[in-house]
Amino acid sequence: MKNLISRAQGYYFQLAIFLFFLTIYSLTMFPGAGGRINWGDSIKWQYLHLANGLPHSTGYPQFLLLSEIFSRVLFFLDMPERITFIAVFFGALAMAVFYSLVHLLTKNKTGSVLATLFMGFTYTFWAQSTEAEVYTLNIFYLLSVFYLFIQFYYTKSNKYFLAGCAVYALSFGNHLTMVTILPAILFISLWSDYRKVFAPRNLVAIAVFVLIGMSQYLLIYYRAHTSDPLYMESPYKPDFSQFIGYVTGRGFHDQMLSFTLPQILYARINVLFQFLNLNFTIVGLLLSSAGFFYFLYQKKGYVELIFISLALLGQLAFNISYDVGDLIVFFIPVYIILGLFAGLIFAARNTLIPSVLMGALTICTFWISTRKMDILTENTFVQQNIRPFTSMYEEQNSSHPLYLWPSDYYINMYMKYDKLTSENSPFFSLAYTDILPDTFYIAKESEITPALQDQHEISVAYTEDASQFLYRKIKPSQAVFISVMDEGAAKLPAEFYNILQQHGSKIDSIPFRGSYAAVLYNGKMVEELNGNGPADIRSTTITNNPLTDQLTYHVHSSGFDFGNNSIIRLNGFDYATKRRGVNFVVYDTVKEEVTDIINFDTHLGEEKKLLKATRKPKE
């Protein structure tokens, strides 16, 4: 016991960092079904264990297994958040390993803590640590492999070499992009002690690790042959060729190495630097460069830097030529390695300057992530994407069902989630209905197929623009928050201004690309700001604020020429959709909850429509 306590004392910092980020990521976990960056994939991860199904290739057997475990162990959480917590847990664990790695290289505890705080608050990693996705588990493996093989280089101990090989083999059960760091692993292994690499015992052990890593995909094979195919993106009961194609990502091969050299030089690198600026800012990139060269100069760490740089180049070469929509998350290993380089500046000299720079960068990164990029949010997938249509549907006071569009990937994923969780939502999907009823409502005109038109008369049941929505929502005990973003005034209905004026407004227009922020409560204008320049309304600065006992709020509007942003923050959480036009958030002070989040692209004169389908009489 004394020996265990003695060994544990060396990990106090890692434990503290793990618990700190576990708390932060838990408190900022995306609420309910969905996620911040790729709602559809996040929702899919949250219901696959219920369907016993399979995701897009390469199958991700390890994440599927973790989903089964977390969904049972975390029974006290809501169903979707049990799966989201996998990302929370491994995001926090990855930061503990990140600290260990920086400390291994620099021997500076203060610097390692600051570098870890900086990395943990970068937007993309924070976002992926708070939604159901596979990337934090991937980063945990990446950092663990780095740590173990650098320990092998320092100590020449066989246990670190074998442990590194074992962890690397296991990592392939989560994300196959780990293959890009194989040249780096071969380099440091052979440089450290090539005799251990080729030792017969070690070769046998490596073969066993590879077999164990490959065996994880037996879960995929088993499910593909035995599961009820309610949701499977693999072939059902695949033959060997189909199975190999699925687990090696054959369906995505056309998207890999899909850019020419000029496209990479003039377009893709520009995209990469946009991502880097978002996560690191220019100061962070400069600090990463300084850390790299200081470590090279101060500690002569050629081998460590070549090892990590080879891993960086492998990741860059793959990701920069990969044509995928959510590319920003694929670059997370690149952000991690650059964050590691930034931490190396503490290997140079134990002075106050690096700490001040890293501390300021951490605060800046935290501010960007929480304010500009909407980390502190309680916007749910349903509120943003389905509630605008169910709100209009409720106005019909009808018992006829509402049908949503299955062709939209994100909605389709939610429909499957809703079906499997039996939440009995008042909406359905055309994809899950064999026989249509005689009368029903449709939420999107593009879903009206020729077959549907042959059988049903289609009519517009309800239309709503920004002014009509505003008129409908100005009610007793409801607070309406308004924020205009980008260019929202061009085709804003005149009736919008009339309604505002009827409830105490003093404006009759919004300038082109201008700003407008307003708060109405109980049918009266509480505060409004309008003009050329950013508009900010804060509950703490309003005299005789009628919502003082209900909630704190901050409404911000900035048109295209003045920052192009929208914030509607209630009790610390930002609910604004951040889309062009007029953003509304409605808060019910009786229910004490947000009831509506909606945007109208008034630059286009957008209207929301609800259609009604009635079966034609038989001839």
Predicted pLDDT of residue 128:
93
Which tokens is 434 given? Answer: 């064999």
Q: CA-to-CA distance for 127 and 329, rounded, in angstroms?
A: 9
As given in the structure block, the two tokens for residue 202 are 């070690």
Rounded Cα distance, 470 and 500, in Å: 9
Lowest mean pLDDT among 34-43, 174-183, 198-207: 34-43
Cα-based distances in Å from 561 to 76, 281, 296, 508, 576: 47, 22, 44, 21, 19
Cβ-contact 60, 123 below 8 angstroms: no
For residue 226, give the amino acid letter: T
pLDDT tens digits, one per residue of 109-147: 988 999 999 999 999 999 999 999 999 999 999 999 999
* pLDDT range class, residue 273, cuts 50, 70, 90: confident
Q: Write out the two tokens for 595.
A: 């009831």
DSSP-derived secondary structure for 400-469: S-EEE-TTSHHHHHHHHHHHHHT---SEEEGGG-SS--SEEEES-GGG--HHHHHHEEEEEEEEE-HHHH
Q: How far is CA 349 from the centre of its chain?
A: 37
Per-residue pLDDT at 373 = 60
Q: At what angle do helices 158-171 and 135-155 cross, to 10 degrees?
A: 160
Q: Is 564 left (phi over 0), alpha (psi -120 to 50) or beta?
A: left
Supply φ then ψ for residue 110, to 5 degrees: -60, -50
CB distance 52 to 224 below 8 Å:
no
Residue 568's φ and ψ, nearest 5 degrees, are -130, 90
pLDDT one-digit tens code per residue, 44-66? 999 888 888 888 888 899 999 99
Please say if the pLDDT value at position 427 is more than 90.
Answer: no
Q: Which two tokens stand for residue 394?
A: 């409720």
The residues pairing with 531 across neighbouring beta strands, listed in sequence order, are 515
Which two three-digit tokens encode residue 4? 């265990």
Cα separation, 483 vs 459, in Å, equals 32
pLDDT digits (tens, 9 = 90+) for 287-345: 899 899 989 888 888 999 999 999 999 999 888 888 877 788 889 999 999 999 999 98
The position carrying tokens 């980063």 is 139
Measured distance CA(518)–CA(533) in Å, rounded? 15
Q: 389: which DSSP letter?
A: H
Q: Which pLDDT score is estimated for 589?
A: 93
Cα atoms found within 13 Å of the Cα of residue 137, Cβ hemisphere only: 24
Please compute the mean of the pLDDT values over residues 3-11 and round it to a whole number.
66
> For position 370, what pLDDT does the model report?
81
CB atoms within 10 A of CB 32: 19
Q: For residue 9, what pLDDT is reported?
A: 63
Res. 441: pLDDT tops 60:
yes
Q: Which of 130, 144, 134 is nearest to 96 (CA)?
A: 144
Dihedral sign from CA coordinates of 299, 302, 306, 307: negative
Which amino acid is it at 595? T
Q: At 275, which amino acid appears?
A: F
Q: C-alpha angle 235/238/243, rounded to 5°?
A: 90
The per-residue pLDDT for 8 is 62
3-state secondary structure of 526: strand
Residue 400, pLDDT score: 86
pLDDT at 10 over 80: no
The 10s digit of each residue's pLDDT in 360-406 is 888 888 888 887 667 887 788 888 888 888 888 888 888 888 887 66
Tokens of 122: 């970068």
d(CA 572, CA 376): 7
546-605: pLDDT as tens digits:
998 889 999 999 988 888 889 999 988 889 888 899 999 999 999 998 999 999 999 988
Residues contacting residue 287 through CB under 8 Å, at least 6 positions apart = 342, 345, 357, 358, 361
The pLDDT-based confidence of 425 (bands split at 50, 70, 90) is low
Phi, psi of 33, rounded to the nearest 5 degrees? -70, 140
Tokens of 383: 């509120």
Compute the mean pLDDT over every residue in the chain, rounded to the nearest whole number. Answer: 88
